[in-house]
């Protein structure tokens, strides 16, 4: 490489850093230390999903919560210890399903079982790869992931406050919370389609199906089905499918459901009720390839939120569930 070209490369790197691009994340980050990491993770995740398909939604939601609280740094995986209440034990009762954690722990164990790879791959990156893999296994798009995140050095319940969207949010509230994470309204609409898989507890939509006041934006037949399935309104032990039509397929049915008044949360249905986001819902309900392109772009942006790449900010945990 000539000197002139080398200077150009340096200038481009500086420009990229200045424009907020996370220059350190790269697709081939583990090429020399653990070249087969993506295959190892995919095999472990495939085994887990074959054991229980609940792992699909659980893993995808875990990734979202990880990135929105303290950045994508696996802080959500850490368990509480004697003197610390961790993120996952926030009193909101976020009910993150155990199979998401287990997917990451198993994938990391499979990676660590290869001597060259032991303690070389961060839990944050494992969660990114596992999320990509469960989505592909459920029939969604497969995509290349950026790697090189370090694991966070802390995980506290208090860090969760105000960082995650409640299901009652309207379009402006959703848009501004996602904007705080460098995500556009288009990214937010695309990412919301993760609700094409997985489960929700009755309490998260109970306010929309009160017999005396069913949310007028909800389809009446759907509301009756939900009322029948959640008789006590808020039974914490009952969880229903988020996408009642194709519950296990990662597809664009989510947007078709919204057109029919079959979004489960206020925050889902508002994407269709609000004139500003409805055209995007209609476009992605009609064209699944357009949805998939937008979803992959949005997942890539989500995976860049608050990442730690400087050794002063993070490490590669030996145990994903412990700050060691
Ligand atoms: C836009 C704002 C969002 C709100 C208000 C929201 C809210 C919720 C709520 C209340 C639940 C049910 C939790 C339960 O009762 O157990 C849920 C489940 C879920 N969410 Fe979201 N969410 C949002 C965005 C996202 C995003 C961006 C993703 C991922 C990219 C995501 C992925 C999931 C998945 C996969 C589930 C099912 C979890 C499982 O089956 O264990 N959500 N969400
Ligand atoms: C958003 O991007 C800016 C630079 O454009 C960066 O300084 C900031 O840390 C990013 N925020 C998050 C939450 O990633
Ligand atoms: C919490 O306890 C661990 C040992 O169990 C100790 O290393 C750590 O310093 C303690 N942290 C605080 C904040 O007290
Ligand atoms: C929290 O969620 C778990 C799992 O769904 C449930 O068993 C428990 O009763 C809930 N606790 C509260 C206080 O709602
Ligand atoms: C979906 O959109 C793409 C362009 O992004 C176009 O090539 C394709 O024909 C569209 N498919 C349908 C079914 O309209």
Kindly report, residue by residue over 232-276, the tens digit of the pLDDT. Answer: 767 878 999 999 999 999 999 999 999 999 999 999 999 999 999
Measured from the Cα of 305, ligand 2's closest atom is 14
End-to-end alpha-carbon separation of the chain, Å? Answer: 41
Cα diameter, the chain = 75
For 46-61, the pLDDT digits (tens) are 999 999 999 999 999 9
What CA–CA distance (Å, rounded) separates 205 from 202? Answer: 6
Q: Answer yes or no: are the C-beta atoms of 24 and 148 closer than 8 Å.
A: yes
Residue 16 has pLDDT above 60, yes or no: no
Measured from the CB, is residue 176 less than 6 Å from ligand 2?
Answer: no
Angstrom distances, CA of residue 192 to CA of 175, 178, 188, 203, 269:
12, 11, 6, 19, 11
CA distances from 294 to 46, 70, 172, 200 (A): 25, 24, 20, 24
Give CA–CA dist 28/145, Å, rounded. 9
Q: What is the pLDDT of residue 311?
A: 94
- The percentage of residues in the chain with a pLDDT greater than 70, rounded to a whole number, is 92
65 catalytic residue (yes or no): yes
Burial of 293 (0-12, 13-18, 19+ CB in 10 A): middle
pLDDT computed for residue 3 by the predictor: 41
Please give the pLDDT value at position 93: 62
Count of residues for the chain?
Answer: 324
pLDDT at 4 over 50: no
Ligand 2 centroid vs 104 CA: distance in angstroms?
A: 26
What per-residue confidence (pLDDT) applies to 285?
Answer: 98
pLDDT of residue 219: 98
The answer to whether the CB of 200 is under 6 A from ligand 1 is: yes
Whether ligand 5 lies within 6 angstroms of the CB of 288 is answered as no
Checking if the pLDDT of 104 tops 60, the result is yes
Q: What's the pLDDT at 209?
A: 96
CA–CA separation, 123 and 114 (whole Å): 16
> What does the mean pLDDT of the chain come to?
93
Q: Provide the whole-model pTM.
A: 0.91
290: pLDDT strictly greater than 90: yes
196-210: average pLDDT? 96
Q: Is 32 known as a binding-site position?
A: no
192 annotated as a binding-site residue = no
Query: Closest Cα to atom 10, ligand 3: which residue?
Result: 83
Domains observed in the chain: 18-163+304-315 (1.10.520.10), 183-295 (1.10.420.10)
Ligand nearest to the CA of 82: 3
Q: Which bound ligand lies closest to the C-alpha atom of 17?
A: 2
CA distance 184 to 243: 24
Which pLDDT tens digit goes with each residue over 120-169? Answer: 999 999 999 999 999 999 999 999 999 999 999 999 999 999 999 999 99
Higher pLDDT, 206 or 11: 206
**b/e map of 99-118 (b: 16 or more CB within 10 Å)?**
bbbbbbbbbbebbbeeeebe
β-partners of residue 213 are 210
Ligand 2 center–CA 251 separation, angstroms: 30
């Amino acid at each position: 490489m000539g000197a002139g070209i080398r200077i150009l490369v340096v200038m481009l790197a500086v420009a990229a850093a200045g424009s907020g691009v996370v220059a350190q994340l790269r697709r081939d980050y583990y090429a020399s230390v653990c070249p087969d990491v993506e295959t190892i993770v995919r095999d472990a995740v495939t085994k887990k999903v074959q054991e229980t398909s609940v792992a699909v939604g659980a893993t995808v939601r875990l990734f979202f919560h990880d990135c929105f609280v303290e950045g994508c740094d696996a802080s959500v995986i850490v368990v509480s210890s004697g003197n610390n209440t961790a993120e996952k034990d926030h009193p909101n009762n976020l009910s993150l399903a155990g199979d998401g954690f287990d997917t990451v722990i198993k994938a990391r164990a499979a990676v660590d079982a290869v001597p060259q790879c032991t303690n070389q791959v961060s839990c944050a990156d494992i969660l990114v790869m596992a999320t990509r893999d469960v989505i592909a296994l459920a029939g969604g798009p497969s995509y290349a992931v950026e790697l090189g995140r370090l694991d966070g050095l802390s995980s506290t319940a208090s860090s969760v406050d105000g960082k995650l969207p409640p299901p009652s949010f309207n379009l402006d509230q959703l848009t501004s919370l996602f904007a705080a994470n460098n995500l556009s309204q288009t990214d937010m609409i695309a990412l919301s389609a993760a609700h094409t898989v997985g489960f929700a507890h009755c309490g998260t939509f109970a306010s929309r199906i009160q017999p005396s006041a069913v949310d007028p934006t909800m389809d009446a037949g759907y509301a009756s089905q939900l009322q029948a399935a959640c008789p006590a309104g808020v039974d914490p032990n009952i969880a229903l499918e988020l996408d009642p039509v194709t519950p296990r397929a990662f597809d664009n049915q989510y947007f078709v459901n919204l057109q029919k008044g079959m979004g489960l949360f206020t925050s889902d249905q508002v994407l269709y009720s609000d004139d500003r986001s409805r055209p995007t819902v209609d476009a992605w309900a009609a064209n699944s390839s357009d949805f998939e392109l937008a979803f992959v772009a949005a997942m890539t942006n989500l995976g860049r939120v608050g990442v730690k790449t400087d050794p002063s900010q993070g490490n590669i945990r030996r145990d994903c569930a412990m700050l060691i």
